[in-house]
Amino acid sequence: MGTEEILKALGNVQEPDLKKDLVTLNMVRDIVIGDNKVGFTIVLTTPACPMKELIRRDCERAIHEHVDEGLEVVVDFTANTSSIRVDLTSVLPGVKNIIAVVSGKGGVGKSTVAANLALALSQQGAKVGLMDADIYGPSVPIMFGVRGQRPLMENIEGKDKIVPLEQHGIKLISIGLLVDEKSAVVWRGPMASSAIRQFVTDVHWGELDYLVIDMPPGTGDIHLTLVQTIPVTGAVVVTTPQEVALSDAKKAISMFSQAQTKVPIIGLVENMAWFTPAELPDSKYYIFGKDGGKHLADQLDMNFLGQIPLVQSIREGGDKGTPAMLGGDAQTQQAFSAFAAETIRAIAVANAK
């Protein structure tokens, strides 16, 4: 039994999303063969890969079927996260992917989706940061329970940098951490755009697999500034099933597809897809319409990333500083985890093209 035999066997294992075998994709490393035992490392496209256990089982099955059914198989995992867009090192060294969470209108739960996406990615093994780019309505300080806290400044390689706060394993920055929350932010577009530019250039984000950006609702100066300052990996569009929200979601999609922005759309997620009362956990009431986001994704031929229910615990957790991924009900956590997994999968497939 040798390395070639092991590689030949693993050539029968397909990466579920990329639809090619692990050997062709150069994902097999460090094969070690011992007495009745073989070990190797699989290099994933992301540490938050939702298919990790499926790949492990398929590898074990391939070795047992094609080499020796009595062998003990030890599969380790590592990750090599790469970006769809151009190299980020000149702007954000250490940040591998940037996900902008956008919506065509306010009130669709974009900040809730962004916060829980960041937490779901972190819980699946990724290093994650969350930038609150909603200058006029920052919500990250409340949702993460860090109201009143201030980030520190640190001299890094001769430059003064803002050090993000860390909460629940997520690096955080928000205008709400830098100004008095009792004071309204009354800024013209250029001032708001300048603040966002500082969040990019003057914050020490360090090593991140994903930087999630909670964008302001609508389309405007801040959006243009951000996508022209940094190479965003892609945008996640948040909508509700309502017709008016779907119409505005189309505008957001259109903006990010224009020549001066040209940001790939990762996919669309439908928030408030149905209402489930706490006393009737198995009931679904489609108070805003049914499957509107899903139909829009089908119509525009884009990835549909999932549906998030309208549950009281989501609102309560956000107000108390413990987002749903930390203290919500199992149904909500499962919905956000599935949404994060679909987002990762869409990015990995786009990376491979």
Residue-level pLDDT at 84: 42
HSE toward the beta carbon, residue 127, CA cutoff 13 A: 11
pLDDT of residue 88: 47
* Closest to 133 measured CA to CA, from 250, 229, 34, 18: 229
Q: Residue 210: in which H helix or E strand, if any?
A: strand 210-214
Residue 275 CA, chain-centre distance (Å), reads 24
C-alpha count within 13 angstroms, C-beta hemisphere, residue 100: 31
Q: Which residues touch 278 (CB under 8 Å, ≥6 apart)?
A: 311, 312, 313, 329
- Whole-model pTM? 0.78
Do residues 213 and 76 make contact, with C-beta atoms less than 8 angstroms apart?
A: no
Spans of the chain below 50 pLDDT = 83-89
Q: Cα-atom radius of gyration of the chain, to the nearest Å?
A: 22
Residues 6 or more apart whose CB falls under 8 angstroms from that of 352 comprise 17, 18, 25, 45
Q: Are 50 and 344 in contact (CB under 8 A)?
A: yes
* Cα gap 168→144, rounded to integer Å: 8
Q: Domains, the chain, ranges and CATH?
A: 3-79 (3.30.300.130), 98-352 (3.40.50.300)
Cβ–Cβ < 8 Å for 181, 137: no
313 conformational bin, left if phi > 0, alpha if psi -120 to 50, beta if neither = alpha
C-beta of residue 29 within 8 angstroms of C-beta of residue 40: yes
Q: Which residue has the tokens 């090593």?
A: 207
Greatest Cα pair distance, the chain, in angstroms, is 71
Q: pLDDT per residue over 228-279, tens digit each?
A: 777 888 889 998 888 888 888 888 788 777 656 678 889 999 999 888 887 8
> Tokens 């209108």 — which residue?
105
38 touches 6 (CB < 8 A): yes
Amino acid 220: pLDDT: 65
Say which DSSP state 285 is in: B
Please give the pLDDT value at position 194.
75
Residue position matching structure tokens 């890094």 = 156
Distance CA 213, CA 131 (A): 5
Place of tokens 């697999």: 209
